[in-house]
Structure 1
Amino acid sequence: MNEYKVVSNISLKDCPSKVIIDNAEKELKKLRKKLGKLQDTMYAHGKYGVLVCLQGMDTAGKDSLIREVFKDFNVRGVEVHSFKVPTDLERKHDYLWRHYLVLPERGKFGVFNRTHYENVLVTRVHPEYILGENIPTINSVEDIDDTFWSDRFEQINAFEKHVAQNGTIILKFFLNLSKEEQKFRLLRRLNKQEKNWKFSPGDLKERKLWGKYQECYEDAINRTSKVHAPWYTIPADDKPSARYIVAKTIYDTLKTYTDIQAPELEEEVKANIELYKQQLNNE
């Protein structure tokens, strides 16, 4: 799925928001079983963790994608973290602190549903939120200039480089939803009583800032898609196809790590397998 990988500067308006993959749901079922087995091998291997980062506008399908892609994982092999508004404790630390705390351990998958990029997306659209971080050099919105954002992008790149160099495989997915499809999904939340709970009037306020969000996403993706931490722009208007593309990208990437193998048994253990079977059978 390299056609979705960001290897040079992109314009989001030129990236497709919809593709239809034949038999996407059926193919996903096959693929997620392979991913589950691969995670078992990674756990035994114990040298790599995998960090999957999901970003997208409201209704882009992040929650359902996580549910469907990781359905066949051992529950102990994957941890999902959804980052909301920072707590009082989190605001007493730098903005990356809470993300460091929940990075996946070796042998496991970590999924960030909304990520550290919220700190250069939502805060860039609403710079007043930065004031809540109590940064010593920032006393007003006027202090938040281009240099501030450039520094923050450098910090994020350094964070990801450090994590990658220490054994974490990073894949970042932007679920590229069209404005028309978001309208449809928001209306569905309002029209279906069982989905009303998902709707917030704030969704409509943020929708009015669609253009600004697209600018910020595009800039963030272009500044931070690196070899060790690539971005993928995933057409998200068709959910089954988007889920398949994400799963296929994860699987294809991990298969390039040819050193991920289950460890060999010690020679003494291997030589006595028949003896151990006999002992058990004779109980």
Structure 2
Amino acid sequence: MQNITNNFKITGNKKISLNNFDTDYTADVKKEDAKAILKALVKETADLQDKLYAANKYSLLLIFQAMDAAGKDGAIKHTMSGINPQGCQVYSFKQPSTEEYNHDFLWRHSKALPERGRIGIHNRSHYENVLVSKVHPENVLKENLPDIHKVEDIDDKFWNERYKGIRAFERNLHNNGTVVIKFFLHLSKKEQKKRFLQRIDDPSKNWKFSAADIKERGYWKDYMEAYEQAISETANDDAPWYIIPADKKWFSRIAISSVIVETLKSLDLQYPVLPKDEADRLQQSKEQLMGE
């Protein structure tokens, strides 16, 4: 799957257009094979996570961003289904609280970072500050920033500083052993409509739907432009973006798992090797136990 996942990887600081990425792409993978492929990838992820935890050298931060109904929750559930809960933590970021607005925009996300040996999953992330806030700049006013008194004060320079701050934040994470992977689940507007209707028609899914979802759908074009700029400004080798086709949930899960597996493999994780004196004591302990 490595050649396939490379098709989704964005590392350059050049302007991308989401129109160039097919939301319905499946790389000729057949749906009837998807379950077995994902099962094998989940097992491989679990094995690699065990080494990640034992080596205690790196941590892995998975960032999931998408439009509503793109399948973030399901993707996290299925791709992480084999992970040891002791080595994984998931945070879902909602609208900031008063306390969070009284700190810099990265504060609450910094608190939720995974420690070495663990996998951290951020369902939405610090990118909301250049996505939702870009589409609804009035949100920035809630931060009570110096020199920002009205929406008109929020200019290109402001956003460029935000992108710069995000790049520096992620560079620091990389330099200190946190491997950052950023997923954008690329859903078509047509498929979102279909999934919204399913949520309305199915009583067991009604709780997933909100009238606010329809309101935000009206800003589709603005959101696509915000995503294009955010990805273009912050994609690099240290913290790549992956634009994942999301119209077929079964394929997006395979693609996400493939990226995770390939990334963990690239770290060349190994179980710790005991020094000779500790290995000798281990053998003595074994002999003592066998002699009981």
Q: TM-score, normalised by structure 2?
A: 0.94
Amino acid at match of 1:86: P
**Equivalent residue for 1:113, pick from 113, 123, 127:** 123
Q: Is it true that 1:35 corresponds to 2:45 in the alignment?
A: yes
Secondary structure class of the residue paired with 2:243: strand
Q: Is it true that 1:276 corresponds to 2:280 in the alignment?
A: no
Q: What whole-Å deviation, never above 9, does each CA across 1:195-241 have from its counterpart, x for those lacking one?
A: 00000000000001101100110111011101100001000011111
Amino acid at match of 2:100: E
Q: CA RMSD in A?
A: 1.1
**Equivalent residue for 1:167, pick from 168, 177, 189:** 177
Residue 24 of structure 1 corresponds to 34
Hey, what's the Cα distance between the residues in 2 that align with 1:166 and 1:277? 38
Residue 6 of structure 2 corresponds to 2
* 1:272 CA drift (Å): 4.8
**Equivalent residue for 2:54, pick from 33, 40, 44:** 44
Residue 125 of structure 1 corresponds to 135
Secondary structure class of the residue paired with 1:84: coil
Residue 199 of structure 2 corresponds to 189
Residue 214 of structure 1 corresponds to 224
* 1:267 CA drift (Å): 1.1
Residue 261 of structure 1 corresponds to 270
Amino acid at match of 1:263: P
Q: Which moved more, 1:103-112 or 1:266-275?
A: 266-275
Hey, what's the Cα distance between the residues in 2 that align with 1:115 and 1:200? 21
Hey, what's the Cα distance between the residues in 1 that align with 2:169 and 2:285? 47
* 1:84 CA drift (Å): 0.4
Hey, what's the Cα distance between the residues in 1 that align with 2:18 and 2:132? 18
Residue 249 of structure 2 corresponds to 239
Q: After the TM superposition, which residues 144-155 of structure 1 pair with which residues of structure 2 at under 5 Å, given as runs?
A: 144-155=154-165
Hey, what's the Cα distance between the residues in 2 that align with 1:273 and 1:49? 29
* 1:280 CA drift (Å): 1.9
Amino acid at match of 1:224: T
Moved >3 Å (runs of 4+): 271-275
Hey, what's the Cα distance between the residues in 1 that align with 2:215 and 2:88? 34
Q: TM-score, normalised by structure 1?
A: 0.97
Hey, what's the Cα distance between the residues in 2 that align with 1:212 and 1:275? 67
Q: Give the total of aligned pairs.
A: 282
* 1:247 CA drift (Å): 0.8
* 1:273 CA drift (Å): 4.3
Secondary structure class of the residue paired with 1:234: strand
Amino acid at match of 1:112: H
* 1:253 CA drift (Å): 1.5
Amino acid at match of 1:219: Q
Q: After the TM superposition, which residues 82-101 of structure 1 pair with which residues of structure 2 at under 5 Å, given as runs?
A: 82-101=92-111
Gaps of at least 5 residues in structure 1 are none
Secondary structure class of the residue paired with 2:251: helix
Secondary structure class of the residue paired with 2:116: coil
Q: Is it true that 1:157 corresponds to 2:161 in the alignment?
A: no
Secondary structure class of the residue paired with 1:228: coil
Residue 21 of structure 2 corresponds to 15
* 1:139 CA drift (Å): 0.5
Hey, what's the Cα distance between the residues in 1 that align with 2:203 and 2:284? 63
* 1:91 CA drift (Å): 0.9
